[in-house]
Structure 1
Amino acid sequence: MGFPVRWAVRTSTRTGRTADDELWQRVVRELADDLAVDALTRDRAGKPPYDEVARLKEAGLPGLLVPPGSGERGADLRSACSVLGELAAADSSVAELLARHYALTWSGRLFGTPADAERFERRTAAGGHLLAGGVDLPETAPGPPLTLRTTGGGRVLSGCRTLEAGATVADCLVVDASPAPGGDPLVVLVDPAHPGVCVSPAPERLGQRLTGAGSIVFDAVPVTDEDVVGAVPRDERALAPLTALTPLILRLLLSHVALGTAEGALAEARDISRAARAADPREGGRLFDGTDGRPATDPYLLLAYGESATEAHAAASVVERATAALTDGLAAGRELTADESADIAALVGAAEAVTARSAVHITTRVLGLFPGTGPSVADPGLDRFWRNARVLTAHHSAAHSLRDIGDHYLNGSLPRLAGHR
């Protein structure tokens, strides 16, 4: 397929680049090239992503966000976002799987004490574990909560949770569960191999078919004190500004996945157009786009590519600003203020709205460049980009995000916490 050229605005502005930075770039580039080779075949097969997870682990990417001070290689959020964009251009399902893992790696620092965070990160990073699950903040839970019941032998976890990614392939599950009525929900770490954990793969989906989505039933699964990562204040007003960033991390990471999907579709279309050019002797050697017979200098063809490239460039600019703000907010830690957290939420909301719209527009426009393609040996498979973009953005309402941004801009109100699961 060939990588899309990364726009300069998305390049990290960090100084003092180390050898490890160059190593990660090379590792990600090689993995993305590898995924691109059989992306269409794997998408059509729709099998659980065991092989894809093995490739991620072989590349060491699940441990990318391990804090540098922990004795492991580590990187900041900006670097992780760059990784996701590159991978999404090749295979957005794998990128989403990794994005949701990255969001959960922050759980210890967002919900626990420094000691809790160190224990959580040491435990999950030791074997390069892949995380799946989700933690709901107040007023964002989509369904009945999981429950933690105290018995003579300790706590037991019960209930059901539906996951968009990682249900069938995760090494560890991170979920929130409600203890006795009135108590703050606890964030806990669960071993999916426990006999009380039952996983059911999701039925075949339109897009993002290789994320390992599914539902998980917890039937009286024991939870020890060592399994407790932290607590989520039930009252939204009691949330620390740092903890309020929780849904924003995932929303921004998925925005990078959506943008990478659009860039991948555009680059794939460009490569196909270039490869299909042929000299037509009837036109004196005039170059044609062999996919549909239009000249490669057709103004409508050039306009379509120009509009798509410009839209991707504009979306990347918005996403980069939100990425820089959220990276700085996480670095501030407990010193982050409520106003700063609200400003970050507005920027992430803008990035989410712009990338969701651009991903659908660009992937739809790319399909229009190659009319008449379908499931065949010669089919370039560009529809997978459109299907993946549709599923990635299905739960996002641009109108809701834009109203929140407008309310924050006009009235200084705090944006709502609601976001992706």
Structure 2
Amino acid sequence: MSSLTAQQAIEAARAVAATLAKDAVERDRANAKPHAEVQLLRDAALPAILLPREVGGSGLGWDTALRVVREISAADGSIGQLLGYHYMNQDLLVWLHNPDALALWGVRSAEHQWVWGDAVDVYAPATTLVGDGSGFRMSGRKSFATGFSVADVSVVAVAEPGTGSPLLVIVESTADGVAPGGDWDNLGQRLSASGSVTFTDVAISPEQVLGTLDPARATPQGSLIAPVSQAVHSEMYLGIAQGALRTAGEYTRTVSRPFLLSGVESATADPYVLATYGRLVAAVRAVEALADDVGTHVARVNAARDGLTWDARGELAVHTSALKVVAIETVLEVTSRIFEVTGARATSNAVGLDRFWRNARTHTLHDPVVYKQREVGEHFLTGTYPPFTVYS
């Protein structure tokens, strides 16, 4: 086990990101399972930074975890997604206020720097539990999961016996009857270890049952996964935009040629190139400022624990929705317009600038941003907070 300070965690993330950036293009093209990338995270002691000190973690806040996700995403959006989802899944041990689960699974997770995946899509065809002595058997299929094939443990949403409500259980990825589909073949986020997973008569003991995501039974603290997930997504988008700008900027400085009619001797002297970069840099810096503010807000709300109110939780949901709106707009603009300031040769597969847009375009479709716009607008006009769903 290794306990990190906030600054050490951010510096470790930057070091990992530097390593990931060296062969990001090649790894994206290869589309292999990211076992080596996950090991980099473990070696840097990043998986356990959110776990409380009493179970062996670093006890850091979500403001630090979000910054770490941003740093990793700047080099590789897929690995940023894996790590961000890991933090959310792991922190369910705290959010669902299950001290026994935290003591059992948290200690193991901190000791071995476990990485957590998930299959928590409550809208997918039901995965069910049936009684089996003192425990259960789980069967079914999830069409979408993240990290399952490279994670140590994963959180799975199942239909609660008797009620059908979404119940969360912890599953070790090597358990008998667990079969990742290996069918993730999408435009971007190619190394996020996503895709389907099938469960066939998987044994579930009582200590693997974590808690419920049923909105009718949720507490403000137990519902934090929804607004925090929006913050995680936004940090991924911000990191991708930062990485795209850095990569494009270096290309413009070293490779791009001035246009024939520009009348200047280098691309870095072209006033239109300078103005375009200025617009993109300004937009990214604005998102950075809002993201830092949201990170502080998430950490403060998370620290309230059982004292958190629904109104305070609602304020966070509106704040993270606002961040997501501008983060999506910015990352899509940046990752598209960088080609205008790098030139036609920058479309070469060897350069790999397209990976930033592909990653951003793929994940920004996670849930429609127009619903986040509506939530922010409705709160502005009427004071209404978004209701708790797995998306808000």
Find out whether 1:230 has 2:211 as its counterpart: yes
> Normalising by structure 1, what TM-score?
0.86
Find out whether 1:247 has 2:219 as its counterpart: no
Counterpart of 1:264?
A: 243
1:99 alignment partner AA: G
What's the secondary structure of 1:62's corresponding residue? Answer: coil
What's the secondary structure of 1:206's corresponding residue? Answer: coil
| Aligned-pair CA distance for 1:299 | 1.6
Find out whether 1:385 has 2:320 as its counterpart: no
1:263 alignment partner AA: Q
What's the secondary structure of 1:61's corresponding residue? Answer: coil
Please give the per-residue CA displacement for 1:265-321, whole angstroms capped at 9, x wherever unaligned: 0111111112237899xx99x6412xxxxxx22221111101100110111222222
What's the secondary structure of 2:181's corresponding residue? Answer: strand
Contact kept? 2:184, 2:193, Cα under 8 Å = no
1:68 alignment partner AA: R
Q: How does 1:279-290 map to 2 (within 5 A)?
A: 287-289=265-267
Q: Matched residue pairs, number?
A: 388
Pick aligned residue for 1:274 from 244, 253, 260: 253
Counterpart of 1:320?
A: 292
| Aligned-pair CA distance for 1:72 | 3.1
Contact kept? 1:196, 1:220, Cα under 8 Å = yes
Pick aligned residue for 2:316 from 344, 365, 372: 344
Could you say what the CA RMSD is over the residues aligned between the two structures, in angstroms? 2.4
Runs ≥4 in structure 1, deviation > 4 angstroms? Answer: 277-280, 374-377, 418-421
Please give the per-residue CA displacement for 1:37-95, whole angstroms capped at 9, x wherever unaligned: 00011111111111111211111111121113333323211111111111111111111
Please give the per-residue CA displacement for 1:364-402, whole angstroms capped at 9, x wherever unaligned: 01122233237757x421111111110120123222111
What's the secondary structure of 1:400's corresponding residue? Answer: helix
Structure 2: which 5+ residue stretches go unaligned?
Answer: none
Quote the Cα distance in structure 2 between the aligned partners of 1:242 and 1:59. 29
1:133 and 1:203, CA in 2 relative to 1: closer, same or farther beyond 3 A?
Answer: closer
Quote the Cα distance in structure 2 between the aligned partners of 1:92 and 1:419. 22
Contact kept? 1:112, 1:231, Cα under 8 Å = no
Quote the Cα distance in structure 1 between the aligned partners of 2:113 and 2:272. 49
Counterpart of 2:25?
A: 40
Percentage of matched positions with identical amino acids? 30
Counterpart of 1:181?
A: 162
1:274 alignment partner AA: R
Find out whether 1:102 has 2:87 as its counterpart: yes
Contact kept? 2:96, 2:211, Cα under 8 Å = yes
Q: How does 1:208-219 map to 2 (within 5 A)?
A: 208-219=189-200
Find out whether 1:129 has 2:114 as its counterpart: yes
Find out whether 1:395 has 2:363 as its counterpart: no
Counterpart of 2:11?
A: 26
Counterpart of 1:10?
A: none
> Normalising by structure 2, what TM-score?
0.92
What's the secondary structure of 1:188's corresponding residue? Answer: strand
Contact kept? 2:146, 2:195, Cα under 8 Å = yes
Quote the Cα distance in structure 1 between the aligned partners of 2:219 and 2:198. 31
| Aligned-pair CA distance for 1:194 | 1.8
1:266 alignment partner AA: L
1:60 and 1:191, CA in 2 relative to 1: closer, same or farther beyond 3 A?
Answer: same
Counterpart of 2:337?
A: 365
Contact kept? 1:165, 1:212, Cα under 8 Å = yes
Find out whether 1:192 has 2:162 as its counterpart: no
